[in-house]
Structure 1
Amino acid sequence: MTPETETAFAAIRAEFGAASLARVERMLEPGAGKERHPLQRAAKWILPGLSPTPWHDPYAHAELAPVVRALEANQLAIKQELDAAWAGRREVFADYEHYLNRQQDWQALHLFRDGALVEESALLAPTAHRVVRETAVETEKICPLLECHFSTLLPGAVIAPHCDLWNFSINLHLAVDIPDGCRITVAGETRSWAEGKCLLFDYSFEHEARNEGTRPRTCLLIDLWHPETTPPERRALTALFTEIRRLLGES
């Protein structure tokens, strides 16, 4: 770790106790992460002690349930605003740049990115922007290392099987506009989105998605803190990976 990270960790231990970062410290040990599910093998970072559960019940976690309920309650307005933006402001949707690749048939409109809300998107998707701000950003449930965006798969698009970088955040999907022929597979289990409902899964497990329908499929994706992580761990992980990205020239 760098001196900056050491200083941040020391301040967190002083506030929360010497053992508060034990799992983060174990994650950083040489050879760490070997104790993982085989379908997490390509994830770079595995925080020990989190339940190795690919699919989660969106309503089962008291911390996350208010986000789920608010998104589902506002899905119709969110869809109407998305449709208007897609029809009238198509240029604001960009090819999605996943850390593994960039896909032209995977389009995105960001509401939260680089640790902050994208204010320009409030004009295009005011309902989604407000709900995300009130329920996820202001409550610090969103992982500031990641993002929230409308994810649109064009007809025929396939997201190849992959693992995301780590297991300490979790991916929430609000099904905004779902044609027939769309599905997602996580750890070998395939499900379909139900329009107006949320799916929640641990994307450190291998997953893939495809749109075999005849029109675009859109979900609103939010990267939330895994509900089994603690406040001191979240602070430490944010400091750690912000510093890693700085050293790699990514920020």
Structure 2
Amino acid sequence: MTPEMERAFAVIRSEHGAESLSRVERMLEPGGGGPRHPLQKGAKWILPGLSPTPWHEPYAYPELTPVVEALEYAHPAIKDELNSAWAAHREGFSAYEHYLTRQEDWQALYVYRDGALVAESAATVPTAHKVLQEFAVDTGTICPLLESHFSTLLPGASIAPHCDLWNFSINLHLAVDIPDGCGITVADETRCWREGRCLLFDYSFEHEARNDGDRPRTCLLVDLWHPETTRAERRALVVLVSEVRRLMADV
């Protein structure tokens, strides 16, 4: 670890206890903190002690229930605003750039990015912006290391099997506009989105998606802290990932 990380970790331990970062420290040891599920092999970091569960019940966690309820309740307005943005403000969408690839047939309209809400989204998709502000950003459940965006797969598009970088955040999908012929597979289990409802899964497990329908498929994706992480761990993980990104940018 860098001196900056060491100092930050020391402050966190002083406030939360000497053992508060033990799982983060084990994660950084050679071997990545212990054994992992075979379908998590592609992830960079696996925080030990988190339930190795690919699919999660969206209403299973009191911390996450408010944002799930709010998004599902607001779905009609969110869908109307998304369709208006797609028709009148297509320039706000861009080819999605995953850390592994960039896809023209996978379009994104960002609501939260680089640790803050995207100001322009308050005008184009105000309901999603407001719900995320109140129920994810203000409550600290959103993972500031990642993002929230409307994810639009064009007809015939697919997302190849891959693992994301870590397991200490999980991905919430609000199914906004779903044609027939769409599906998502996580750890070899395929499910279909139900319009107006949420799915929640651990994207450190291998996953893929497809749109075999006749119109675009759109979900609102929100990266949330894994509910089994602690406040101390979240602070440390922000320090860790931010420092790694800074060092990579300097290379």
What is the TM-score normalised by the length of structure 1? 0.99
Q: Is this contact kept in 1: 2:34–2:48, CA < 8 A?
A: no
Quick one: percent identity of the two aligned structures? 74
User: Which amino acid counterpart does residue 212 of structure 2 have in structure 1?
Assistant: E
**In structure 1, what is the equivalent of residue 19 of structure 2?**
19
What secondary structure does 2:58 align onto?
A: coil
Is 1:176 aligned to 2:173, yes or no?
no
Bigger drift between 241-250 and 224-233 goes to 241-250
**In structure 2, what is the equivalent of residue 55 of structure 1?**
55
User: Which amino acid counterpart does residue 177 of structure 2 have in structure 1?
Assistant: D
**In structure 1, what is the equivalent of residue 247 of structure 2?**
247
Is 1:221 aligned to 2:221, yes or no?
yes
**In structure 1, what is the equivalent of residue 150 of structure 2?**
150
What secondary structure does 2:156 align onto?
A: coil
Give the superposition deviation at 1:30: 1.3
Distance in 2, matches of 1:200 and 1:106, equals 20
Distance in 1, matches of 2:236 and 2:40, equals 22
What secondary structure does 2:36 align onto?
A: coil
Equivalent residue pairs, number? 250
- Per-residue CA deviations over 1:85-141 (Å, capped at 9, x if unaligned) read 000011110000000000000000000001111011110000000000100001110
Q: Structure 1 stretches (4+) deviating beyond 4 angstroms? A: none
Distance in 2, matches of 1:107 and 1:33, equals 35
**In structure 2, what is the equivalent of residue 6 of structure 1?**
6
**In structure 2, what is the equivalent of residue 99 of structure 1?**
99
Give the superposition deviation at 1:32: 2.1
What secondary structure does 1:69 align onto?
A: helix
Give the superposition deviation at 1:33: 4.2
Q: Is this contact kept in 1: 2:153–2:218, CA < 8 A?
A: yes
> For residues 156-235 of structure 1, what are the structure 2 equivalents within 5 Å?
156-235=156-235
What secondary structure does 2:249 align onto?
A: coil
- Per-residue CA deviations over 1:9-59 (Å, capped at 9, x if unaligned) read 000000000000000000001122441000001001000000000000000
**In structure 1, what is the equivalent of residue 36 of structure 2?**
36
Distance in 1, matches of 2:138 and 2:107, equals 26
- Per-residue CA deviations over 1:185-215 (Å, capped at 9, x if unaligned) read 0000000000000000000000000000000
Distance in 1, matches of 2:144 and 2:7, equals 20
Distance in 1, matches of 2:239 and 2:134, equals 24
Distance in 2, matches of 1:226 and 1:31, equals 22
Q: Is this contact kept in 1: 2:170–2:225, CA < 8 A?
A: yes
Distance in 1, matches of 2:41 and 2:31, equals 13
Distance in 1, matches of 2:54 and 2:160, equals 17
**In structure 1, what is the equivalent of residue 78 of structure 2?**
78
**Cα root mean square deviation, aligned:** 0.7
What secondary structure does 2:49 align onto?
A: coil
Q: Is this contact kept in 1: 2:72–2:196, CA < 8 A?
A: yes
**In structure 1, what is the equivalent of residue 136 of structure 2?**
136
Distance in 1, matches of 2:185 and 2:29, equals 31
What secondary structure does 1:25 align onto?
A: helix
Distance in 2, matches of 1:231 and 1:2, equals 22
Q: Is this contact kept in 1: 2:117–2:133, CA < 8 A?
A: yes
Distance in 2, matches of 1:31 and 1:81, equals 46
